[in-house]
Amino acid sequence: MVRIGTHVSSSKSIDLVFDRGKEVGATTIQFFLSSPRSWKWKEREDTEKELYLKKRANFGILPIVAHSSYLFNLASDDPQLWEKSIQGVINELTLCEELGIEYYVIHPGKAKGQKEEKAIQNIIKAIERVFSTVKLKNTVFLLETLAGQKGEIGKTTEELYQLIKPFQTENIGVCLDTCHLFSAGYRINTEEGFNNYKQELDALIGIEKVKVIHCNDTKTPFNSKKDRHEHIGEGYIGYKGFELFLNDTDFCKLPFILETPKVGNWDLENMRRLKGLIKAPVAQ
Nearest to 93 by CA among 42, 140, 57, 37: 140
> In this structure, is the dihedral angle defined by the CA atoms of residues 54, 68, 108 and 97, taken in order, positive or negative?
negative
User: What's the chain's Rg over C-alpha atoms?
Assistant: 18
- What's the rounded Cα separation, in Å, for the pair 26 and 122? 37
Tell me how far apart the alpha carbons of residues 63 and 158 are, in angstroms, rounded to a whole number.
28
End-to-end Cα distance, the chain:
5
Do β-strands 109-110 and 64-67 pair in parallel, antiparallel, or remain unpaired? Answer: unpaired
Tell me if residue 175 falls in helix, strand or coil.
strand
pLDDT of residue 284: 40
pLDDT tens, residue by residue, 89-103: 999 999 999 999 999
Q: How many other CB atoms are there within 10 angstroms of residue 112's CB atom?
A: 15
User: What's domain 4-276's architecture?
Assistant: Alpha-Beta Barrel (3.20)
Paired residues of 95 in beta bridges: none
Instruction: Supply the pLDDT for residue 282.
Output: 47
Domain boundaries, the chain: 4-276
Task: For residue 191, give every residue at least 6 positions away whose Cβ sits within 8 Å of its Cβ, in sequence order, or none.
Answer: 244
The dihedral built from the CA positions of residue 234, 235, 238 and 241, taken in this order, carries a sign that is negative
SS3 of 96, please?
A: helix
* pLDDT for res 36: 84
Q: Which residues does the chain have with pLDDT short of 70?
A: 280-284
- Whether the model clears a pTM of 0.85, i.e. scores above it, the answer is yes
Q: What 3-state class would DSSP assign to 46?
A: helix
Beta partners for residue 256, in sequence order: 4, 213
pLDDT of residue 281: 55
Write the DSSP string, 100-163.
Answer: T-SEEEE--EE-TTS-HHHHHHHHHHHHHHHHHHS--SS-EEEEEP---GGGEE-SSHHHHHHH
User: What is the Cα–Cα distance from 112 to 177, expressed in whole angstroms?
Assistant: 22
Q: Give the pLDDT score at 35.
A: 86
